[in-house]
């Protein structure tokens, strides 16, 4: 229970003024620009866009600056901002197979058409601090090959699944619009579309831990990274003023296709099943974790025993959103004076009752 | 209703305009004499588009997350409606795209604008893409097999 508490206005205003000063830090150090954050803290920007569920690199950079680098606070700011805008419509589904690829690797097929393309990756770095970065050196230009990659690289699974040992993703005949969590509450059983939207917005740390738990044996599903790709995808919108789909521009996107062992069921032959993960920008760890959890949440549908947290749809979907989670945890900071007073009264009464019982027992024993 | 060819070329031009930065569009507009006049039918407005993906990349659609988009509608001197839809929040850019969309529907102007605005934009995009793909190609792994000794 909350009661109106007055009298804090001046303290709050002064606290916010101090916060603004702390945000700026030492005035002798040059202030960060939004463009600097957007260009040089790009992966932080990408995470804020993904979990803020809004693709706009400048706004995400602004949110990070305002939040002093606190990711969840920045995500909250972006979620709040989006509520001020009208929805023009929904894009045509992205054609990730037509991505302009900067990175594409497969851990299951060595010789994929187009090859294993590492792109700008932290993989294979030694994780040693690079002190030349502290000296503001410009990096040497990255090498350029004489022959570029093909304009598009077809998805690995579709190309190499000739024996049909990996399940195919099927477009349903019924083209009803997918569930939208920004307009309707979670409902159970949750459709795959609802789960994927929830996971795409979900906290990376939470999904990473759940994905890891499946690898350690809590709902094991034997994953392989079928394909990970990162690059640019065109977004198209059916514009009512035009009567045809118009290209709005390109967004950066990461996609992960997990391939998982499956023993088969009464209706399905033994085959590999799939989990899917995606994120705005370059978010490989998030996309992989999401793909693991997408697959583990398919346990019931595939007739597998549901015994672990990562397979429990309600548990996962109700706790994945970091804006909701931080709100409920942090609301504990708000005044609970009256609740606590009533709890104190109860505890005092219980103590009195316990003392009286003990006294009575003592008197009885003495007699 | 427009003819299919007209729709295809208008789509292509709008795609090029959406990827052209505002300064380049302002510059191109300044190069036109006399300065074209137009009325704003629907003022530039920023809103959201829900970006949809597909499960597994090719399966059933789902809502991935939103993006900011700005749109604008203008009417050119000859009455042609110009429509601009661009990613992001740049209202002036959406208006400029709408203006060029209206101007490009005038057969007397189309070729000049195609040469001055659309073709350079498409070429810039092609060069950028080729550069990205050449860098990516430089990071392709060349596997070689190590032959074991007898």
Nearest-by-Cβ selection for A116 from B50, B54, B141: B141
The predicted pLDDT at position B57 comes to 94
Q: With contact defined as beta carbons under 8 Å apart, do A298 and A292 qualify?
A: no
Chain A, 318-347: which have a CB under 8 Å from a chain B CB?
A: none
Task: Using a CB–CB cutoff of 8 Å, tell me whether A58 touches chain B.
Answer: yes
Structure tokens at A253: 């996107």
Residue A85 pLDDT greater than 60, yes or no: yes
Report the Cα–Cα distance between both ends of chain A, in Å, rounded.
48
Asked if residue A257 has pLDDT above 90, the reply is yes
Give the count of beta carbons closer than 10 Å to the beta carbon of residue A147: 10
Nearest CA in chain B to A230: B136
- CA-nearest of A235, A91, A57, A249 to B18 is A249
* ipTM of the prediction: 0.94
B10 neighbourhood in chain A, CB within 8 Å: 242, 244
Higher pLDDT among residues B26 and A335, named by residue? B26
**Distance from C-alpha of A148 to C-alpha of A134, rounded to nearest angstrom:** 33
Q: Is B55's CB within 8 Å of A193's CB?
A: yes
- Please give the share of chain A, as a percent, with pLDDT higher than 70: 98
Q: What is the pLDDT of residue A8?
A: 86
What per-residue confidence (pLDDT) applies to B1?
A: 45
Of A248-252, B5-9, B45-49, least confident by mean pLDDT is: B5-9
Band of the pLDDT at A81, cuts 50, 70, 90?
very high
Which stretch of A165-174, B51-60, B88-97 has the lowest confidence by average pLDDT?
A165-174
- What integer is the mean pLDDT of A100-109? 94
The predicted structure's pLDDT at residue B148 = 72
What is the overall mean pLDDT for chain B? 93
- Does the pLDDT at position A109 exceed 80? yes
* Mutant choice from B5, B14, B62 vs A, greatest count of A C-beta within 10 A: B62
- Does the beta-carbon distance from B69 to A53 stay under 8 Å? no
* Average pLDDT of every residue of chain A: 93
- Residue A268: the pLDDT is 78
What 3 state SS string does B45-110 have?
EEEEEEEEEEHHHCCCEEEEEEEEEEEEEEEECCCCEEEEEEECCCHHHHHHHHHHHHHCCCHHHH
**Is residue A23 predicted with pLDDT exceeding 70?**
yes
How far apart CA A181 and CA A190 sit, in angstroms, is 11
Q: How many CB atoms lie within 10 A of CB A110?
A: 10
Q: Residue B56: pLDDT band by 50, 70, 90 thresholds?
A: very high
If one compares B130 and A140, the residue with the highest pLDDT of the two is B130
In this prediction, residues A76-100 reach a mean pLDDT of: 97
* 8 Å CB contact of B62 and A197: yes
CB contact under 8 A, B54 and A171: yes
Lowest mean pLDDT among A139-153, A201-215, A280-294, B110-124: A139-153
Q: B135 pLDDT exceeds 90?
A: yes
Helix (H) or strand (E) holding A248: strand A244-260
Residue A142 reports pLDDT greater than 70:
yes
């Amino acid at each position: 229970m909350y009661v109106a508490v007055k009298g804090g206005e001046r303290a709050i205003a002064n606290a916010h003024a101090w916060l603004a000063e702390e945000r700026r830090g030492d005035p002798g150090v040059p202030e960060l620009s939004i463009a600097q954050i957007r260009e040089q803290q790009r992966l932080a920007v990408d995470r804020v866009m993904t979990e803020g569920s809004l693709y706009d690199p400048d706004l995400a950079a602004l949110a990070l600056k305002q939040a002093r680098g606190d990711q969840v606070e920045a995500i909250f700011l972006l979620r709040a901002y989006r509520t001020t805008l009208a929805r023009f419509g929904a894009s045509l589904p992205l054609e990730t197979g037509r991505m302009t690829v900067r990175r594409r690797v497969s851990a299951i097929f060595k010789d994929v058409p187009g090859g294993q393309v590492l792109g700008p990756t932290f993989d294979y770095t030694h994780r040693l601090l690079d002190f030349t970065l502290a000296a503001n050196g410009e990096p040497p230009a990255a090498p350029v090959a004489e022959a570029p990659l093909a304009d598009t690289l077809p998805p690995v699974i579709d190309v190499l699944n000739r024996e049909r040992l990996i399940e195919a993703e099927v477009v349903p005949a019924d083209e009803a619009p997918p569930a939208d969590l920004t307009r309707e509450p979670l409902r159970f059983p949750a459709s795959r579309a609802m789960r994927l939207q929830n996971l795409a917005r979900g906290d990376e740390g939470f999904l990473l831990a759940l994905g890891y738990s499946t690898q350690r044996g809590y709902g094991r599903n034997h994953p392989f990274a079928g394909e990970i790709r990162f690059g640019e995808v065109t977004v198209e919108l059916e514009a009512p003023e035009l009567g045809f789909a118009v290209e709005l521009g390109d967004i950066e996107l990461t996609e992960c296709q997990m391939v998982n062992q499956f023993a088969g069921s009464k209706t399905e032959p033994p085959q590999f099943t799939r989990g899917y993960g995606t994120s705005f920008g370059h978010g490989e760890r998030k996309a992989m974790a999401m793909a693991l959890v997408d697959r583990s949440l398919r346990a019931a549908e595939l007739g597998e025993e549901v015994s672990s947290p990562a397979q429990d749809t309600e548990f996962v979907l109700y706790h994945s959103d970091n804006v909701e989670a931080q709100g409920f945890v942090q609301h504990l900071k708000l005044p609970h004076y009256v609740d606590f007073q009533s709890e104190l009264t109860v505890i005092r009464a219980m103590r009195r009752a316990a003392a009286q019982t003990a006294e009575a027992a003592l008197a009885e024993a003495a007699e | 209703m427009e003819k299919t060819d007209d729709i295809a070329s208008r789509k292509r031009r709008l795609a090029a305009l959406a990827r052209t930065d505002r300064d380049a569009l302002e510059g191109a507009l300044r190069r036109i004499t006399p300065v074209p006049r137009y009325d704003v039918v629907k003022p530039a407005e920023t809103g959201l588009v829900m970006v949809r993906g597909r499960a597994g990349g090719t399966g059933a659609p789902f809502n991935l997350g939103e993006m900011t988009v700005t749109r604008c509608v203008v009417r050119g001197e000859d009455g042609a409606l110009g429509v601009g839809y661009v990613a992001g929040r740049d209202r002036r850019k959406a208006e400029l795209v709408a203006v060029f969309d209206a101007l490009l529907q005038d057969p007397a102007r189309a070729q000049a604008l195609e040469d001055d605005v659309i073709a350079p934009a498409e070429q810039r995009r092609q060069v950028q893409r080729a550069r990205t793909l050449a860098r990516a190609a430089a990071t392709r792994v060349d596997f070689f097999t190590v032959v074991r000794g007898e």
